[in-house]
Amino acid sequence: MEESALTEQIIGAAIEVHRHLGPGLLESAYQKCLARELRLREILFQTEVT
């Protein structure tokens, strides 16, 4: 997948999560839901890499 298409997919996933959850939750809630959404879209990612 080219970079711009991947970026579009990730932003779309983030928007979808925010639409479903709405504002005002802890960052950890959004993070877990975004991770699930990315897995559903078969987008490989890592969280909190140090």
pLDDT of residue 28: 96
Is it the case that residue 24 has pLDDT exceeding 90? Answer: yes
Task: Give the 3-state DSSP-derived string for 5-50, with helices as H, strands as E and coil as C.
Answer: HHHHHHHHHHHHHHHHHCCCCCHHHHHHHHHHHHHHCCCCCCCCCC
Full-prediction pTM beyond 0.75? yes
pLDDT of residue 33: 98
The residue ranges of every structural domain in the chain are 3-40
Q: Are 30 and 21 in contact (CB under 8 A)?
A: yes
Is it the case that residue 1 has pLDDT exceeding 80? Answer: no
Per-residue pLDDT tens over the stretch 10-22: 999 999 999 999 9
Per-residue pLDDT tens over the stretch 25-44: 999 999 999 999 999 999 99
